[in-house]
Amino acid sequence: MPNAVKKKCRFVILISGRGSNMQNIVQAIGTQGIPAKVCAVISNSDRATGLSWARDQGLQTEVIAHKDYATRAQFDNALAQCVQQYQPDYVLLAGFMRILTPAFINCFQGRIINIHPSLLPLFPGLNTHQQAIDAQLQWHGCTVHFVTPELDSGPTIAQGVVPVLQDDSADTLAARLLPVEHKVYAQVVDWLAQGQVTLTPDGRVVVEGVAHRGML
């Protein structure tokens, strides 16, 4: 009897800019045998440079430009409709720089994932690298987490850390962190695709077979 074909996990990725996390996820799926498909890369801006990379890979791309909508609610409604047509198992935010409304988040409850460049709950919002330097932290990092209506909050799936060096600027620290972001997000995508990640009703994350979800 032929082996049953394993269903591929469907991802939609939202970006606003260069999309290096998106690129790394697409490449990890392609090279690491992750049972997943990136159904579409969607941006809120036609100037997102990651879009042309995605197009060159033959991926479906869409632009839902926030500036074309009078309100955040209208934009989110259009975005939700666009995302929904791809029937994703998960929506991955990868440098998506718009705050999503609860209406959007509820549409994909427990299925939206974000990467944030800090060790949450430290430093939600912007300028995280400078904040880590200003706080004289010796370690900085990134967090991949489920998205909830509260900004840069929500249950943590995995974190990565890097040292903060004495002479760091926000730019050098960001550059040191980026490859760790790529590693952590690709690992989480693998866990999601393999069906290992559970969000419990009390808001905890359990990853089957993984005792510690921190990376260097």
207 sits near ligand GRF (criterion: CB under 6 A) = no
Contacting ligand GRF (CB under 6 A), which of 117, 141, 154, 160? 117
66 is catalytic: no
The tokens for 52 are 């042309």
- Closest to ligand GRF by CB, 63 or 77: 63
Contacting ligand GRF (CB under 6 A), which of 20, 156, 159, 187? 20
Contacting ligand GRF (CB under 6 A), which of 40, 105, 116, 146? 116
Torsion 23-47-91-85 (CA) sign? negative
d(CA 97, CA 119): 18
181 sits near ligand GRF (criterion: CB under 6 A) = yes
118 sits near ligand GRF (criterion: CB under 6 A) = no
Q: Outline where the chain has alpha helix (H).
A: 20-31, 50-56, 72-84, 102-107, 128-134, 170-193
In terms of Cβ atoms closer than 10 Å to its own Cβ (0-12, 13-18, 19+), residue 176 is middle
The tokens for 132 are 């880590």
Name the segment binding ligand GRF (CB under 6 A); options: 12-20, 35-43, 63-71, 160-168.
12-20
If you ran DSSP here, which 8-state letter would residue 204 be given? -
17 sits near ligand GRF (criterion: CB under 6 A) = yes
Q: Which one is catalytic: 66, 116, 129, 212?
A: 116
Nearest approach in angstroms of CB 23 to ligand GRF is 8
Catalytic residue positions?
Answer: 116
